[in-house]
Chains A and B, each alone.
Chain A
Amino acid sequence: MRVSLNWLKSYVNISDLSPEDIAHRLTMAGLEVEGIERKNPIEAISAAIIEEVQEHPNAKKLHLCKVFDGKGRHNVVCGAPNARAGLITVLAHIGAEIGGVKIKEGVLRGVKSEGMLCSEKELGLSEDHAGIIELPPDTPLDANLNELLGIEDIILDIAITPNRGDCLCIYGIAREVSALFERELHFNPFVVSEEDMGEISAYTAATKDVESCPYYTARIIKGVKLAPSPLWMQNRIKSAGMRPLNNVVDITNYVMLEYGQPLHAFDLKVIDRGIVVRRAAEAEKFTTLDGKVRDLDASVAVIADHSKTLAIAGVMGGEYSGINDATTDIFLECACFNPASISLTSRKLGMNTDSAYRYIRGMDFGRSRSILDYAASLFSDICGGTVLAGALTAGEQPPESRTFNFSISKVNSLIGLELSADHILTLLGRLNIKGFLKEDATAAVIVPSYRNDIKHVADIAEEIARLYGIERIPSRLPSFSPKSAKEKLNREGELRELLINSGFNECINYSFLPDSYLADFCDTRELVYLINPLSNDMNALRTYIFPSLIKTLEHNWNQGERSIRLFEIGSVFQKTDRSRLEPLHLAFGFIGGFIPLNWAPGGAYDNFYYLKGVCSNIFAKLRLTPSYIPSKLGCLHPGKSADIFIGKDRAGFIGALHPNIAAALDLKAEVYFTELDLSFLFSLGVEHPPYKRFSRFPSVYKDISLVVDIALPAENLRGLISGISPLVQAVVLFDIYSGEGLASNREKSLTFRIFFSSPDKTLTDEEINPLLYEAESRAAAEFNARLR
Chain B
Amino acid sequence: MEGILHFVAKLTYLSVYSKIFLLVYQPVNFGDDDDFMDNYEPIRESFLKEVAASSSLDALYAVKVKYIGKKGVISELNKALAKLPSEEKPIAGFEIGKLRNEFSAAYDDKESSLKERELSEKLISEQIDVTLPGLTLPIGREHIINKTAGEISAFFASIGYLKATGPEVELDYYNFEALNMPYGHPARDMQDTFYVSDYEVLRTHTSPVQIRTMLACKPPIRIIAPGKVYRSDYDVTHSPMFHQVEGLYIDENISMGELKGTLEHFVKALFGSDVPVRFRASYFPFTEPSMEVDMGCSICSGGGCRVCKGAGWLEIGGCGMVAPEVFDAVRLDYNKFSGFAFGMGVERIAMLKYGIDDIRLFFENHLKFLNQF
Contact = CB atoms under 8 A, between A and B. Distances in A.
Binding partners A and B: yes
B109 to A, nearest CB: 44
B370 A506 contact: yes
Given A465-B289, A530-B194, A471 B167 contact: no
A476 B222 CA distance: 16
Nearest to A165: B186
Interface in B263-287: 264-265, 278-283, 285
A340 B240 contact: no
Nearest to B217: A485
Interface SS of chain B: helix, strand, loop or mixed?
Answer: mixed
B169 A499 contact: no
A488 B141 CA distance: 24
Contact of A461 (B135, B160, B285, B288): B288
B324 A456 contact: yes
A145 B116 CA distance: 103
Contacts, number: 241
B307 to A, nearest CB: 15
Interface in A559-595: 559, 561, 563-567, 570-571, 573, 580, 582, 594-595
Nearest to A531: B195
Contact of B184 (A339, A407, A565): A339
Contacts of A476: 257-258, 260-261
Given A476-B257, A504-B140, A508-B143, 9 more contacts: A30-B283, A415-B255, A462-B290, A475-B257, A505-B141, A505-B370, A534-B240, A541-B169, A598-B133
B261 A340 contact: no
B96 interface: no
A616 interface: no
B135 A564 contact: no
10 contacts: A415-B255, A458-B324, A503-B136, A506-B141, A506-B142, A507-B370, A532-B194, A556-B367, A570-B228, A573-B168
B228 to A, nearest CB: 7
Interface residues on A, range: 35 or more
B262 to A, nearest CB: 6
A600 B261 contact: no
A511 B241 contact: yes
Given A340-B183, A344-B184, A531-B196, A465 B261 contact: no
Nearest to B193: A532
A465 B202 CA distance: 34
A457 interface: yes
Interface string B142-184: 1101100010000001011011000111000000000000111
B143 A507 contact: yes
A533 B194 contact: yes
Interface in A409-437: 410, 413-417
A508 B362 contact: yes
Interface centre among B138, B142, B365 (most CB of A within 10 A): B365
B241 A510 contact: yes
A422 B116 CA distance: 98
Given A471-B278, A487-B157, A508 B254 contact: no
Given A483-B222, A532-B195, A471 B363 contact: no
A164 B255 CA distance: 24
A552 B321 contact: no
Interface in B176-226: 182-187, 189-190, 194-197, 200, 202, 220, 222
A488 B290 CA distance: 32
A504 B140 CA distance: 4
A596 interface: yes
Given A458-B323, A596-B137, A600-B135, A564 B280 contact: no
Contacts of A556: 365-367
Interface in B45-93: none
B196 A413 contact: no
B335 interface: yes
Given A488-B163, A506-B141, A506-B370, A470 B255 contact: no
Which 7 pairs between the two chains have the least Cβ-Cβ distance? A416-B257, A503-B137, A416-B255, A30-B281, A462-B289, A161-B283, A507-B365
A503 B138 contact: yes
Contacts of A552: 365
B276 to A, nearest CB: 11
A340 B141 contact: no
B364 A555 contact: yes
A110 interface: no
A478 interface: yes
A508 B363 contact: yes
B162 A485 contact: yes
B236 interface: no
A506 B241 CA distance: 17
Contacts of A772: none
Contact of B185 (A343, A466, A487, A499): A343
A30 B187 CA distance: 15
B301 interface: no
Contacts of B370: 505-507
A725 interface: no
A28 B367 contact: no
A487 B324 contact: no
Interface in B111-151: 132-133, 135-143, 145-146, 150
A552 to B, nearest CB: 5
B220 A500 contact: no
B140 to A, nearest CB: 4
Interface in A507-541: 507-512, 528-534, 538, 541
B357 to A, nearest CB: 18
A22 to B, nearest CB: 15
B256 A509 contact: no
Nearest to A463: B289
A27 B283 contact: no
Given A162-B283, A502-B137, A508-B146, A582 B232 contact: no
Interface string A328-363: 000000000001110110010000000000001100
Given A506-B143, A530-B196, A27 B338 contact: no
Interface centre among A341, A477, A501, A503 (most CB of B within 10 A): A477
B251 interface: yes
B107 to A, nearest CB: 42
Contact of A534 (B234, B255, B288): B234
A415 B167 contact: no
Nearest to A23: B311
Contacts of B254: 478
Contacts of A559: 366-368
Contacts of B182: 340
